Amino acid sequence: MELGKVLAPVIHGFNGGIVALTKAPYIGPRVSRYITEITYVGRKSGRTITTPVGYTRSGDDVTIAVSMPEQKSWWRNFLGDGGPISIRLDGAERSGHAVTQRDDKGVRVQIRLDPIRSA
């Protein structure tokens, strides 16, 4: 049996717990400074996928360092020219364009946030 299939329910439960922490009173705002959810459409599946990630932010630039990239595939959706993504920041969904960078330092997904449109 493939290890990924065995661990999938555990990982799903863990991810759900992490997302719940970001929405919890008191601790949520602190956790949300480092962990959030991204949503994108899979290139092959065409499905909308949401997953928690750790991130750093500088203005309209967000960086997601992908730990254990060989065990994950979501970041491959942003190879080449990249693609659209949404990310939850400061309690609101923000759209942007994500591009994967892979080098000797590892795998990172760089997101350039779209400008906020005023009402």
Residue 29 lies in a domain: yes
Q: Give tens-digit pLDDT for 48-58.
A: 999 999 999 99
Rounded CA gap, 106 and 96, in Å? 22
Residue 119 lies in a domain: no
What pLDDT is recorded for position 90? 85
Domain count, the chain: 1
What pLDDT is recorded for position 103? 92
Residue 118 lies in a domain: no
- The pTM for the full model equals 0.79
Q: Which class for 98: exposed (0-12), middle (13-18), buried (19 or more C-beta within 10 A)? A: buried
Say whether pLDDT at 26 is over 90.
no
Residue 19 lies in a domain: yes
Q: Give tens-digit pLDDT for 67-94.
A: 889 988 999 999 999 999 999 998 889 9
Domain CATH code at residue 34: 2.30.110.10
Residue 103 lies in a domain: yes
Q: What range does the domain containing 25 cover?
A: 3-113
What pLDDT is recorded for position 39? 97
Residue 9 lies in a domain: yes
Rounded CA gap, 7 and 10, in Å? 5
Chain mean pLDDT for the chain:
84
